[in-house]
Structure 1
Amino acid sequence: MNSYTQATKLHLKTKLGVSGKSVIEEMFFTPPLKIIDPIYEGDVANIMLLSVSAGLMKGDCQDLDIFIGKNSKIKLTSQSFEKVHNTQDGKALRRTIVHVENDAMLDFFPLPVIPFAQSNFENTTQIFLDAKSTLYYSEIFCAGRVSRNEIFDFTRFDSKLHIFIDKKIKLYDNMLLEPENMEFQNMCMFDNYTHYLSLVIKNDMIDFEEFREMVLQEEGNIGVSKHDCFILLRALGRGSEELLNLREKVILECQKRIKIK
């Protein structure tokens, strides 16, 4: 049994403070989630989400509500990998709703999800942007506890991403994996890779062709495409660290080039 209530809620709202720094205006959370006070990197507030549980169990449900106020610059991440334990005949849920106002920037990268054997995990993320919002959003999927050779032994992994601009749907991404119904370790799917990075960028100051040329110079199995005003990067790897490092390197390089311009 879980030591905590199965329904977990977290609310975070930011604004630009009188000091010119982005600050937390409102926050609320129930166990096992917590929010750590910002650590500043220039004018960007780094905020970390903590979970003091051993992971998600059968029947667990997390509801996250995040509001990034006008002119805020927020870097938001989680403290540790999200472990999804054997959910038996049930499932674990996580629902995230994000709003990013005009002239605000959100760099959101929850750490990888690790689905254990016989786990069923359903993740839904809805991001509402204004026309002049800036977004960097990524998810990293791991095929299981690789060190234990527990690869694609989960029951179901379902992750959906919806992104709206001015309340109109602009991007929809659906990742549904059911190992019983499909072989994922073949050359048309994951081959011998075990980790997958999906990065979505909305920044009107980034030139797509320059970005594409920059990324394709990196080593690895990487693809880049453009959809509407979004730049999409997908990469396969054999470990979380290499994909996290790739993400960090790409975004830092983008920001350097924007400053030069």
Structure 2
Amino acid sequence: MTALEPTGAITRVRRWLHDRRVAQARVEALASAQVDADEDHLARRPRTATVTLADAAGRFWRHPSPWIIATTMLVAGTARVVVGGYHVSDLVLVLVMLASFPFVEWVIHVFVLHFKPFEVAGVTIDPLLAREHRAHHADPRDIPLVFIPPKVYWWLLPTLVAVSVFAFARLGLGLTYLVALTAIGLVYEWVHYLIHSDYKPVTAAYRSVWRNHRLHHYKNENYWFTVTTAGTADRILRTFPDPATVPTSPTARDLDAR
């Protein structure tokens, strides 16, 4: 063997690099094909098969989460009217909640839903929301997995009621908080459901929201975390790159493999 001839180790490294490039190209092709197929499915659907907003809404209300949220909002709204005593602070609170929600949504998505399980003293820490979200990524077309799991409300609702009653100087302000929060939650569930349904995007605004979330599911799970807006918090928090500059992630559908 001369000094110019590759050794067996170098040959193996070259073969490994070649195989890796081939595998990455295959992942890129499959992801692109999935996105193209989904978008083509929605764009070219025959008129007789078009899913209208009314169709989507009818199916939306077949799931328990919207009813739980809507019932809580109705009860809280009724209590707010009975308590009365409206102040400018009620309006300010609502505006602050609306302005901050994209960032709250981002934080929950990144740190709660994409929580990575770990062990402490032999016990695996793996919350229900994180487990359900991994299942949602594995099958984004499974509609029941789109919604907040009903079990979550067993502890979430008592917590929110306690916060609204004890964390504010006025009971009326706390009830305003609860009404606004449940209204925002209902909008979140509706938009998230609609994105994963067969409803065809019509407006440019909704199409941008729809595409933003689909990039998160089919392109790369490390970006595009906002759901109800088109990358508002993502743009500020630097998770809104040009899709052409981001490699397709092989774990977008398998978060356990990260």
With the shorter chain as reference, the TM-score category is under 0.3
Structure number with greater CO (CA < 8 Å, separation at least 6) is 2
Q: Higher helix fraction: Structure 1 or Structure 2?
A: 2
Q: Tell me which structure has the larger Cα radius of gyration.
A: 2
Q: Higher strand fraction: Structure 1 or Structure 2?
A: 1
Normalised by the size of structure 2, how large is the TM-score? 0.24
Normalised by the size of structure 1, how large is the TM-score? 0.23
